Structure 1
Amino acid sequence: METIPPEMGDIQLEIPTYQGMYYPVQSMYNAYVCDVKRPIKIYSDGIWFNDNALYYALPVLLLQLTLITFVSRVLYFFLRPLKQPRIVSDVLAGVLLGPLGLSRNQDLMARLFPYKSISVLRVLAYHGIIFKLFSMTVKTDPAIIMRSGKKAVMLGLVSLLVPFGIMVGLGYFLIYTGDLHPDVAPDPSIIIMALLISSSSFLVVSEILEEIGLVNTELGRLAMSSSLINNAAGLFAITLYSSINREKPLQSIKSLGLLAAIILFALFIFRPSMRWVVQRTPKSGSIRGGTMVVIMIVVSIAGIISDISGAAFFFGPLLLGLAVPDGPPLGAALVEQIDTVVTEVLMPLVYLSCGLVVEFSEVNDGTTQLPVVRSTLWTVVILAIGILAKLTVTIIPAIYHKISFRNALMLTFMLNFRGMVEIVYLLYYRLDLPNMGVYSVLLLVSIGVTAIIVPLVKTYYDPLEVNYTVGQRTIQHLKPHMELRVVACVQDESPVPTLVSLLEASCAERGNPLCVYVLHLVEQVGRASSSFIAHKNKKGFINPTHMDRLLNAFVNFEQSKKGQVPMQPFTAIAPYKTMHQDICSLAMGKNAAFIIVPFMRDAGENGEADRAYRTIIPNVLSQASCTVGILILKGETVLPNPTNSQLHIGVLFWGGPDDREALSYAACLARHPSVHLTVTRFEAAMDENTDARELAWDDEVVEELKHEQAHNENVVIQEVVIKDMEKTIARIKSIDNQYDLIIVGRSQSSTCLLDQGLAEWSEFPELGLVGDMLCSSDFDGSFSILVVHQHRNA
């Protein structure tokens, strides 16, 4: 000990060994441990005053943040082609900067990560954990537990209880036999390790599934429901266990009482307040900034109370996140304002914190006693057995519920995804583990399991694979009087009148029976899980209160047809990048022959939303197992309803599979008495590149239409001889406004004479050359356009 000079009093302060930080500051102010005269500076005076910035807290923190972010991004750049999720590169970056990597050099470690900077680093990291978990749970709907079926409940509980029982039983057996020294691996560490390995985090599973594009698949939804059951039971157990102090029962009662108060506050005060905010916010309005500030303050207070109670500091914020209604307006606004800053700025510090304590010196040190080494090795064996048990036992209930072995294996992999939540638990409970070697093994094994199984799931799970063929699912090959099943997709109300008119024209009395599956597409914003909702039960009952005005318009159409056109409404809530999976899965499951997807040009305030929505169309075209029709709405045009007016339809026909499919659908519409159909067939001189077989098929489709509509005065077929591309384009532009709807194939035969060089000028390649030309704003006309794409396997 050393005494401070007389003018500072008789305070006795211990001078710590130099750690590479604050020492010059202390010398400058003539203070040793803390400055009692004035605050310690956290920033330098600059190199021009011979002041080293690495001696101060702020530059060191900024350097640490820069290092972890840069290394993580570089690793993600190289690992992403290997189908690795981002969490793998984040954790590896922390490990590479720790004692196993860059920080093996002690001098470099003292400069980049001085001991006294670790507390600042961890405080910011744990602050990021609080708000990251809060934003992730805001996206979670706890009601999923109530909607989970027996399958999800069984999978969730089996995947938790069986591995937990095996690990705890084996641990206590090894303690009894003396192979596991109780001082090295006491009872609490066995319980904590078993819970960490057995639990499946819903937040991690949903985040990784969304990252790899499987969040709205059938197996993905089952994995999320099962993981939520598992997570709820595991979180309750680990919170209860960590709050109980067996040596001081009275303190445990007080701790549990404080936790109960947090739960009651979240249920009866915070959640009603959040619902009140949602009710007072207009449908398209935004949340006030003052409301956001109040919520952030309440979340911080919940973290303080959780820490005071003896539970994990993130328990209160996590619980408050569950109390916030997910989705827009409140949930989406909170996620948007919190998630980016926390994920990109604060969470890298979490991964750096976990990597800086990864080391095996307690195990490989030559002075280490044999019981420590042996107990550590047995602990690793317990962990390995627990992971294998969790991987294997989940397959049994999955197969019991008639899931194929391959999909059962993929489901098991999904329930073993490890990520940010497991890392948070490891950081929080690392002092309860036998030693840092066990912590290091747990961390590396967790991230290693994720690094292995995520690429396997992405490679071997195809949500749209078909194990059987159901005929040729096209309109052209539809047998007479066979039901035409249509999946009609809508995003907002603008295409509804046009779709209803088109469906009305498709259900002629002497034509094919019509069955419509209406799918309302809703972007997943502020939600962790996707949803696929069937609004009609098996008995055919529809509850209108559970549907919006958009779907009710189609239900009213069904009622106007007096049951002749069955209508089944669905709602799909999913990210735009994977929304095509819901569309294609519904069409495949219902054996539909035609999918209609509206196409909206950028218009006014909805321009950005329209651009995002259009990204699903190329995926639908490439993955749909039936014909796809892209319905283009130009401006405010609405098709006239054939029930009370005439509908004039024009078909531009060059030939080829898509044009034949377009003509086949037009033939279905021509059976309606109020439809006037004009088919313009473009013919060119044959040359050596002409496919005679394709030409014969084109002639066959046209002759069938002529034969069927021989006595129908509303059907006109005209042939136009074309000689060059310029005249072809001029003929297309001469259409003007004589039609209400133009139907055209997405691609045409080689005799089209439209130079493929036009593709370079195409604004929307998914529409094809002719469709893009008709859709162009430079093209006169206020008609609607239907671009038809035939399923290529037909």
Structure 2
Amino acid sequence: MASEDIMKTGVMTAGIVTGPFAEEGIVCQYPHMVSSNGIWFGDNPLDFSAPVFLAQIILSFFASRFIFILLKPLRQSIITAQVLAGVIMGPTILGRFIGSYMMKLFPLSGKMVLQTAANIGFLLHLFVLGVHMDTRILRKAGGAAVLIGTIGFVMPYALAGLTYFIMNHAMPVDESITTSLPFIVAVNSMSSFPVITALLADLHILNSEIGRLATYASMVSDLCSWVTGVSMTTIGLAIRRSKWMSLWALLWIAVFLIAIVFVFRPFILWLTKRTPEGRPMKETHFVIILLIVLGCAVFAEVIGQHAAFGPFLMGIALPDGPPLGSSLVDKLNTIATGLLLPVFIAISGLQTDLLSAGAGGNSPVIIEAIIIMGYVGKFGGTLLPALYCGVPSWEAVTLALIMCSKGIIEVATYIMWKDASILDDQTFSLLLITMLLVSGLARPMVRFLYDPSRRYTAPYGRRTILQSLDTVQLRILVCINQEDNVPMILNLLEASNSTRFSPISIFVLHLVELTGSASAILVPHHHLNKTASNATSSEHVVGAFTQFEQQHLGSVVVQHFTAVAPYASMHNDICSLALDKRTTIVIVPFHKQWAIDGQVGASAPSIRMVNRNVINMAPCSVGVLIERGNNARGHRSALTTTSSSSYRIGLLFFGGADDLEALAYSRRMAKHPRVNLTVVRFIHERQFYAKEKNIEDDLIREFKANAIKEKNQYKEEIVEDGVETTQAIHAMEDDFDLVMVGRYHEPDSPLMLGLTTEWSDCPELGVIGDMLTNLDQSQFSVLVVQQQPQEAGHCPPLQTIPSLPISNRSKSLASKVNSEFSDDEDFTPTYARFEQGK
């Protein structure tokens, strides 16, 4: 070892020696330099391996988080921030200008310790990603997803391979990069399922039409990648060693898979069943599962695979979602994904010298050309089949950008191949730089090009109760967050007065938060995985609405759906189903619950976010139902088929489109034999004397005329300002079981003088809705109604039922309702039905 090449620190001696092919680095480690005695004994903590390792983890974590905060306005991912943190801390910037920094914080001797810990974090993270995956979705992937995923894998492979072939004959290619070029072609053909679903979740479009199509297509592409990878490995082993050696390798992989499916998986499921429902997983069981995962990693290394290969397959074999998947994700995410994974990603940046990426004659040109043509092939291979399948042009471009995005799986592949000397430093740097540029541009472009809410506000025709005829079926989408929502929803549906001449079509959507899984679903209830714990809750909801349907045979038909999605994008499922089923109104439960003493017992901010998004984007009218029936007096008002008591409904009418929608709904309720409706119209003094005539006056006059002959009432409250409006509302606290009101009222109206949403707890309910919700001693429930805005669409002529004899007419209505329901119907995106010829 030449003396000029020797570098000494307190913990090691490093230098350059002559290797079999080229000069190589060598490190002499001092085994006793692990833990420091402290500065009081004259030790420098950075001369010992343990403090250095801890400092590396801390520095990597905070650097990546700080960069992520800076890049957040640009819609960049945490993976991009972690790579850039490594680049800044590596030889590109700090290592180039502060050499002593690299020697102290990132010595050669600390690389093995850091990479070992980072690899453990990565294999645990890959196990978590495997748990998130639900391979059953491959059965749901229609012809569009299969075509897009397959061509999106084959075309970049072919185009990049063709570019390599042409350049190899057009110009001299350095032999040092010849080995790595086929691997570059292979990695650019990937569209990893975990990466794509993570991107979709970050952009809140996981459960949109494009999101579902991208999810299915990435799963197909992943399957193609695995099949190709195993085939190429087997062929390479047969060429370099022997055919029998390749067969033995395949045999041991098969044995490994059999052991996972038929030994480890049943054992882990047996452990899960021993945990009582609703109770957390025992620590002993978790440790046993963790040891099995680490054992899979060891066995994967034994049979010649990467250590993360075993945990990933083990994760895929386990069921996603609660109870097992959610518990494992919750316990492992903090350490594996939160702490150790940033170190693993930062290592890729520490090994990258951006300034040396362009050196070396024509090699960088050839490498970069193949990389770029791979991305071009991925873009074109996704865009063209998507257009063929009927995807709108801009959405097809969005899908192509999504499929071009790279992430944690690709970075891990680069690192693995670099450690195996398949990629040199230059190729590794070019792959990483191109990935950062393409993925960094794709994310904001996807956010700009694709907005699911545009579909809900397209001019499909306004759907409001006001514009519906009494003889046309009322189509209601009710959302259920938990079982406690069911009684108040059923109460409202009973009051909606379903008859054989005016039937109700009810779509029940059970909302379940996506936990421990990467794929969002929106399916009829019976398609939901029955092994999931949320299936039990859904069964209870289905049972209650099925009983309601049986009590109203011929006038009510119910169809049940389950949506499993992140709360941030759950409104996409609600709005998509409302649009697909042409509903008239969506009923969502309020995010607060009240205790027996009248105080707020529980509040769910995530549900509030869902409600706000639905209010802003729904393709029909929206009703927010607030349950205040269970109060300090212990009274719970209910309207059932077996009840003989009357149900008192009050409508507070101030004017405006939303109040008119509430009036139209309440008029339907008023025809129920046990509903007593009271319309309270608030009038300002000047308005009372002016007596201006408009559509509101015509509807009120019609109701007032009919109320004299029926059991309903009409009242007028003459007020001067918002104070008197508030006093009048407080005086009605004991008069009603349900109070209905529109959401929006003109802030310039004299009736609202002094009232503003600036002081409201829930401004999404409007001024009056928020006031009704916060009345301390109120014992009535509240329904806040919003009519679909005028600009959301136009109003085509309504289809009316032909004039038939009464008996035939009721049969016609019943058959019309039943024909639009099918228990086997699945929610399928519009352009994903091309394989069905629709």
**Shared topology, TM-score over 0.5?**
yes
Identify the match of residue 501 of structure 1 among 491, 497, 515. 491
What is the aligned partner in structure 2 of residue 134 from structure 1? 127
Read off the aligned partner of 1:629 and give its amino acid letter: G
Is residue 357 of structure 1 aligned with residue 354 of structure 2? Answer: no
Identify the match of residue 717 of structure 1 among 708, 714, 719. 714
In the alignment, the residues of structure 1 paired with residue 140 and residue 765 of structure 2 have an alpha-carbon distance, to the nearest angstrom, of 40
Is residue 730 of structure 1 aligned with residue 701 of structure 2? Answer: no
* 1:141-188 superposed Cα distances (whole Å, 9 cap, x missing partner): 1111122111111111111122112323443454456633444312xx
Is residue 742 of structure 1 aligned with residue 731 of structure 2? Answer: no
What is the aligned partner in structure 2 of residue 448 from structure 1? 437
User: What is the CA distance between 1:775 and its match in structure 2?
Assistant: 2.2
What is the aligned partner in structure 2 of residue 684 from structure 1? 684
Structural mapping, 1:306-385, within 5 Å? 306-359=300-353, 373-385=361-373
Q: Per the alignment, in what secondary structure is the counterpart of residue 678 of structure 1?
A: strand
Is residue 108 of structure 1 aligned with residue 101 of structure 2? Answer: yes
What is the aligned partner in structure 2 of residue 50 from structure 1? 42
Name the stretch that deviates more: 213-222 or 758-767.
Answer: 758-767
Tell me how large the CA RMSD over aligned residues is. Answer: 3.0
What is the aligned partner in structure 1 of residue 218 from structure 2? 227
Is residue 641 of structure 1 aligned with residue 633 of structure 2? Answer: no
1:762 and 1:769 in contact (8 A); partners too: yes
Q: Per the alignment, in what secondary structure is the counterpart of residue 509 of structure 2?
A: strand
Is residue 65 of structure 1 aligned with residue 57 of structure 2? Answer: yes
Name the stretch that deviates more: 167-176 or 779-788.
Answer: 167-176
Read off the aligned partner of 2:417 and give its amino acid letter: Y
Is residue 407 of structure 1 aligned with residue 405 of structure 2? Answer: no
Structure 1: gaps spanning 5 or more residues: 3-13, 26-31, 538-543
In the alignment, the residues of structure 2 paired with residue 511 and residue 648 of structure 1 have an alpha-carbon distance, to the nearest angstrom, of 24
Q: TM-score, normalised by structure 2?
A: 0.84
Identify the match of residue 279 of structure 1 among 261, 268, 273. 273
User: What is the CA distance between 1:52 and its match in structure 2?
Assistant: 2.1
Structural mapping, 1:136-285, within 5 Å? 136-175=129-168, 179-186=172-179, 189-242=180-233, 244-245=236-237, 246-249=239-242, 250-285=244-279
Name the stretch that deviates more: 665-674 or 327-336.
Answer: 665-674
In the alignment, the residues of structure 2 paired with residue 364 and residue 737 of structure 1 have an alpha-carbon distance, to the nearest angstrom, of 79
Structural mapping, 1:584-603, within 5 Å? 584-602=575-593
Q: Residues 359, 510 of structure 1: CA spacing in aligned structure 2 closer, same or farther, 3 A cutoff?
A: same
Read off the aligned partner of 1:435 and give its amino acid letter: D
Identify the match of residue 559 of structure 1 among 536, 542, 550. 550
What is the aligned partner in structure 2 of residue 614 from structure 1? 608
Name the stretch that deviates more: 592-601 or 199-208.
Answer: 592-601
In the alignment, the residues of structure 2 paired with residue 360 and residue 515 of structure 1 have an alpha-carbon distance, to the nearest angstrom, of 62
Name the stretch that deviates more: 280-289 or 393-402.
Answer: 280-289
Read off the aligned partner of 1:650 and give its amino acid letter: G
Q: Residues 124, 242 of structure 1: CA spacing in aligned structure 2 closer, same or farther, 3 A cutoff?
A: farther
What is the aligned partner in structure 1 of residue 22 from structure 2? none
Structural mapping, 1:291-306, within 5 Å? 291-306=285-300
2:542 and 2:560 in contact (8 A); partners too: yes
1:139 and 1:327 in contact (8 A); partners too: yes
User: What is the CA distance between 1:674 and its match in structure 2?
Assistant: 2.2
The percentage of counterpart residues that share the same residue type is 32
In the alignment, the residues of structure 1 paired with residue 458 and residue 4 of structure 2 have an alpha-carbon distance, to the nearest angstrom, of 77
User: What is the CA distance between 1:347 and its match in structure 2?
Assistant: 1.1
1:215 and 1:221 in contact (8 A); partners too: yes
Is residue 549 of structure 1 aligned with residue 540 of structure 2? Answer: yes
In the alignment, the residues of structure 1 paired with residue 340 and residue 691 of structure 2 have an alpha-carbon distance, to the nearest angstrom, of 66
What is the aligned partner in structure 1 of residue 517 from structure 2? 527
What is the aligned partner in structure 2 of residue 81 from structure 1? 73
In the alignment, the residues of structure 1 paired with residue 271 and residue 652 of structure 2 have an alpha-carbon distance, to the nearest angstrom, of 54
Q: How many residues align?
A: 756
In the alignment, the residues of structure 1 paired with residue 356 and residue 100 of structure 2 have an alpha-carbon distance, to the nearest angstrom, of 21
1:394 and 1:412 in contact (8 A); partners too: yes
Q: Residues 789, 691 of structure 1: CA spacing in aligned structure 2 closer, same or farther, 3 A cutoff?
A: farther
1:361 and 1:437 in contact (8 A); partners too: no
Q: Per the alignment, in what secondary structure is the counterpart of residue 716 of structure 2?
A: strand
Identify the match of residue 463 of structure 1 among 439, 452, 457. 452
Q: Per the alignment, in what secondary structure is the counterpart of residue 484 of structure 2?
A: coil
Read off the aligned partner of 1:274 and give its amino acid letter: I
In the alignment, the residues of structure 2 paired with residue 692 and residue 155 of structure 1 have an alpha-carbon distance, to the nearest angstrom, of 64
What is the aligned partner in structure 2 of residue 9 from structure 1? none
Q: Residues 83, 164 of structure 1: CA spacing in aligned structure 2 closer, same or farther, 3 A cutoff?
A: same
User: What is the CA distance between 1:308 and its match in structure 2?
Assistant: 1.6
Q: Residues 275, 603 of structure 1: CA spacing in aligned structure 2 closer, same or farther, 3 A cutoff?
A: farther
Is residue 698 of structure 1 aligned with residue 696 of structure 2? Answer: yes
Is residue 91 of structure 1 aligned with residue 90 of structure 2? Answer: no
* 1:425-482 superposed Cα distances (whole Å, 9 cap, x missing partner): 1100124545211111111111211111111111110112238413332222324533
1:725 and 1:753 in contact (8 A); partners too: yes
1:19 and 1:110 in contact (8 A); partners too: no
Q: Residues 19, 309 of structure 1: CA spacing in aligned structure 2 closer, same or farther, 3 A cutoff?
A: farther
Structure 2: gaps spanning 5 or more residues: 15-26, 528-534, 631-635, 792-838
Q: Residues 779, 59 of structure 1: CA spacing in aligned structure 2 closer, same or farther, 3 A cutoff?
A: same
Q: Residues 758, 251 of structure 1: CA spacing in aligned structure 2 closer, same or farther, 3 A cutoff?
A: same
What is the aligned partner in structure 1 of residue 800 from structure 2? none
In the alignment, the residues of structure 1 paired with residue 464 and residue 297 of structure 2 have an alpha-carbon distance, to the nearest angstrom, of 58
Read off the aligned partner of 1:640 and give its amino acid letter: L
Read off the aligned partner of 1:578 and give its amino acid letter: S
In the alignment, the residues of structure 2 paired with residue 116 and residue 594 of structure 1 have an alpha-carbon distance, to the nearest angstrom, of 66
Read off the aligned partner of 1:407 and give its amino acid letter: E
User: What is the CA distance between 1:99 and its match in structure 2?
Assistant: 1.6
In the alignment, the residues of structure 2 paired with residue 638 and residue 184 of structure 1 have an alpha-carbon distance, to the nearest angstrom, of 78
* 1:365-406 superposed Cα distances (whole Å, 9 cap, x missing partner): 6xx6xxxx3344212211111110111121121111111111
Identify the match of residue 18 of structure 1 among 2, 7, 29. 7
What is the aligned partner in structure 1 of residue 652 from structure 2? 652
1:536 and 1:568 in contact (8 A); partners too: no
Identify the match of residue 514 of structure 1 among 504, 507, 510. 504
User: What is the CA distance between 1:265 and its match in structure 2?
Assistant: 1.2
Q: Per the alignment, in what secondary structure is the counterpart of residue 785 of structure 1?
A: strand
Q: Residues 178, 251 of structure 1: CA spacing in aligned structure 2 closer, same or farther, 3 A cutoff?
A: farther
Read off the aligned partner of 2:610 and give its amino acid letter: I
Name the stretch that deviates more: 101-110 or 379-388.
Answer: 101-110
In the alignment, the residues of structure 2 paired with residue 713 and residue 497 of structure 1 have an alpha-carbon distance, to the nearest angstrom, of 28
Name the stretch that deviates more: 335-344 or 634-643.
Answer: 634-643
What is the aligned partner in structure 1 of residue 784 from structure 2? 787
User: What is the CA distance between 1:76 and its match in structure 2?
Assistant: 1.6
1:185 and 1:375 in contact (8 A); partners too: no
Q: Per the alignment, in what secondary structure is the counterpart of residue 640 of structure 1?
A: coil
In the alignment, the residues of structure 1 paired with residue 489 and residue 167 of structure 2 have an alpha-carbon distance, to the nearest angstrom, of 69
Q: Residues 198, 24 of structure 1: CA spacing in aligned structure 2 closer, same or farther, 3 A cutoff?
A: closer
User: What is the CA distance between 1:692 and its match in structure 2?
Assistant: 9.6
User: What is the CA distance between 1:208 and its match in structure 2?
Assistant: 1.1
In the alignment, the residues of structure 1 paired with residue 357 and residue 319 of structure 2 have an alpha-carbon distance, to the nearest angstrom, of 48
In the alignment, the residues of structure 1 paired with residue 298 and residue 38 of structure 2 have an alpha-carbon distance, to the nearest angstrom, of 37
Read off the aligned partner of 1:149 and give its amino acid letter: G
Read off the aligned partner of 1:639 and give its amino acid letter: A
Q: TM-score, normalised by structure 1?
A: 0.89
